[in-house]
């Protein structure tokens, strides 16, 4: 059974029980008051009769009633019957005589003195009241029976029962129909949630959202929560898809980068094997100088490619550690000695450009939270990158301050790049078009440098122009009061 039907069933059941209890209470209250009023009138009439009764000892113990009292009884639609147990006679009120009705006369021992009973005679309903009559308190000689015609009251109560019954049934039917309509309307957004969930389950469209313009009730908050969940799920899916795409691209690029040195190494190894094989000595007598020259060249190529593979593997290891969430252990460092050591060692790097040390006074007293080894690795990456792409001209390093940040600027006059390339230069294995196939490299250095900068809470600013060089400014959060004593 659906929630709509269960809600409607519960609502209808509660309404039915409430109506039954309410109707029964109203009916009982009206029934009691209606017949209680009749009983009250009958008792009042009986008291008046008994207070004016005239029991005379005549021939046969005749019993008389006051004529005026009789008239009052006829006007009140209350009928009387006077029974004489001594001589066995009875007298009727004129109304009973006209209706040809006689009340049953009980034996003296069965008199219901002061009690009411309901009787039906000739299809008419009466409320009968009996009072014993006697010469004294102990001797019963007669019985006064008073009866009120309750046909009007009975019809009234019957009509009331009919109205209550059919009114309650009609109310329950209308209320249950409206309840089912409202439950269906209220639960309609839940159906949209189910449809959206099924759509996501059977398809790949995570951009589906549930339209809802109703009040911010429980269902509204539920739909809002589901939409937020779908939005987060779509975001996670996109991130995961991007990660898978980056992983596939990474594996493809890494395979490509590793294949070149491996091919070179295998080619040189095969060349050496052929040169030193017994078959080669038989057909082509060895020339020591030629073999020595070829061997040195092959070994040099193998060494260079091995070194290139080693750098590539180390770079990939650094990126793998970054992907695994490895963090850099940081401590307070004076930045000036770190940079000065990099500047001194950088002059020994392979280069064609002039190495210029600019103004580093801004580093005086500058303290950063970082790792010396990682900071130096990051600076060497930018410097080596500048040397690599600067065939002539210069590479300059200097420092600037801006608020609570220190900037290390590395500028070159090399080949530069197009501005459209800037957003991609920190992607793994990405290399600007002018350098592809011309300058050796793996395209991982700047990715590692960016990770180190992020780990230190810094940022990097890039200014470049094709054919005119590139400037990198590495910004790091810093304090400028030196280390505490």
Quote the CA–CA distance of 321 and 377 in Å, as a whole number.
Answer: 15
- The more confidently predicted of residues 263 and 421 is 421
Q: Where are the beta strands (DSSP E) in 135-173?
A: 140-149
- pLDDT value of residue 159: 92
pLDDT of residue 127 exceeding 50, the answer is: yes
- The more confidently predicted of residues 106 and 194 is 106
Which class does domain 205-326 fall in? mainly alpha
Most confident residue range from 64-68, 139-143, 184-188, 469-473: 469-473
- The more confidently predicted of residues 266 and 27 is 27
Q: What is the bridge-based pairing of β-strands 354-357 and 394-402?
A: parallel
Grade residue 407 by pLDDT with cuts at 50, 70 and 90: very high
- The more confidently predicted of residues 172 and 51 is 172
Biggest distance spanned by C-alpha atoms of the chain: 180
Helices vs. strands in the chain: H and E counts, helices first: 10, 14
Confirm if 12 and 172 have CB atoms less than 8 A apart. Answer: yes
pLDDT of residue 57 exceeding 60, the answer is: no
* Residue 328: how many other CB atoms lie within 10 Å: 17
Q: 353-393, pLDDT tens digit by residue? A: 999 999 999 998 899 999 998 899 899 889 988 998 898 89
Grade residue 71 by pLDDT with cuts at 50, 70 and 90: very low
Q: Where are the beta strands (DSSP E) in 6-61?
A: 54-55
Quote the CA–CA distance of 152 and 37 in Å, as a whole number.
Answer: 13
Instruction: State the Rg of the chain over Cα.
Output: 57
Residue with tokens 């009140």, as numbered in its chain: 76
Confirm if 231 and 210 have CB atoms less than 8 A apart. Answer: no
Question: What are the phi and psi torsion angles at 276 (to 5°)?
Answer: -100, 10
Quote the CA–CA distance of 449 and 4 in Å, as a whole number.
Answer: 60
Angle formed at CA 169 by CA 164 and CA 175, multiple of 5 degrees: 120
Give me the residue spans of the domains in the chain: 3-158, 205-326, 328-479
- pLDDT value of residue 459: 94
Angle formed at CA 271 by CA 313 and CA 279, multiple of 5 degrees: 145
CATH code reported for the domain at 328-479: 3.30.565.10
Gap between the terminal Cα atoms of the chain: 77
What pTM, to 2 d.p., does this model score? 0.45
Q: Which two tokens stand for residue 280?
A: 């080669």
Grade residue 394 by pLDDT with cuts at 50, 70 and 90: very high
Over residues 89-101, mean pLDDT: 76
Grade residue 147 by pLDDT with cuts at 50, 70 and 90: confident
Quote the CA–CA distance of 63 and 142 in Å, as a whole number.
Answer: 8
Which CATH fold would you assign to the domain 3-158?
Beta-Lactamase (3.30.450)
Q: 219-248, pLDDT tens digit by residue? A: 777 778 877 887 887 787 787 877 777 667
List, in order, residues 6 or more apart from 163 with CB less than 8 Å away. Answer: none
């Amino acid at each position: 059974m659906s929630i709509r039907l269960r809600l409607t069933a519960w609502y209808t059941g509660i309404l039915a029980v409430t109506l039954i209890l309410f109707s029964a209470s109203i009916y009982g209250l009206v029934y009691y008051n209606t017949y209680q009023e009749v009983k009250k009138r009958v008792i009042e009439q009986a008291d008046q009769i008994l207070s004016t009764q005239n029991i005379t000892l005549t021939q046969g113990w005749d019993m008389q009633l006051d004529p005026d009292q009789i008239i009052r009884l006829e006007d009140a639609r209350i009928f009387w019957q006077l029974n004489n147990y001594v001589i066995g006679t009875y007298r009727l009120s004129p109304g009973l005589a006209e209706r040809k009705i006689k009340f049953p006369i009980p034996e003296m021992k069965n008199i219901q003195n002061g009690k009411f009973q309901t009787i039906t005679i000739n299809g008419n309903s009466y409320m009968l009241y009996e009072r014993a009559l006697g010469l004294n308190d102990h001797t019963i000689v007669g019985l006064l029976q008073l009866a009120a015609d309750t046909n009007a009251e009975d019809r009234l109560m019957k009509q009331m029962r009919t109205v209550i019954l059919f009114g309650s049934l009609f109310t329950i039917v209308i209320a249950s129909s409206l309840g089912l309509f409202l439950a269906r309307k209220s639960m309609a957004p839940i159906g949209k949630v189910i449809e959206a969930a099924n759509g996501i389950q059977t398809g790949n469209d995570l951009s589906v959202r549930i339209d809802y313009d109703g009040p911010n009730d429980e269902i509204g908050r539920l739909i809002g929560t589901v939409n937020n969940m779908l939005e987060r799920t779509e975001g996670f899916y996109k991130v995961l898809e991007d990660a898978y795409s980056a992983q596939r691209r990474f594996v493809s690029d890494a395979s490509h980068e590793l294949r070149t040195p491996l091919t070179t190494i295998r080619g040189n190894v095969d060349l050496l094997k052929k040169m030193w094989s017994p078959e080669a000595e038989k057909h082509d007598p060895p020339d020591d100088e030629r073999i020595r020259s070829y061997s040195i060249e092959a070994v040099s190529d193998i060494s260079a490619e091995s070194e290139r593979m080693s750098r590539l593997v180390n770079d990939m290891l650094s990126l793998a550690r970054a992907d695994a969430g490895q963090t850099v252990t940081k401590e307070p460092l004076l930045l000036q000695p770190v940079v000065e050591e990099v500047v001194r060692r950088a002059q020994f790097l392979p280069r064609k450009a002039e190495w210029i040390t600019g103004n580093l006074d801004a580093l005086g007293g500058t303290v950063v939270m970082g790792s010396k080894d990682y900071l130096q690795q990051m600076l060497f990456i930018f410097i080596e990158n500048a040397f690599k792409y600067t065939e002539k001209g210069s590479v300059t390093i200097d420092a600037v301050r801006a608020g609570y940040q220190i900037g290390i600027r590395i500028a070159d006059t090399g080949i530069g790049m197009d501005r459209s390339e800037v957003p991609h230069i920190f992607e793994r294995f990405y290399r600007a078009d002018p350098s592809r196939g011309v300058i050796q490299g793996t395209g991982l250095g700047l990715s590692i440098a960016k990770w180190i900068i992020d780990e230190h809470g810094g940022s990097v600013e890039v200014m470049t122009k094709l054919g005119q060089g590139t400037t990198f400014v590495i910004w790091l959060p810093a304090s400028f009061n030196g280390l505490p004593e």
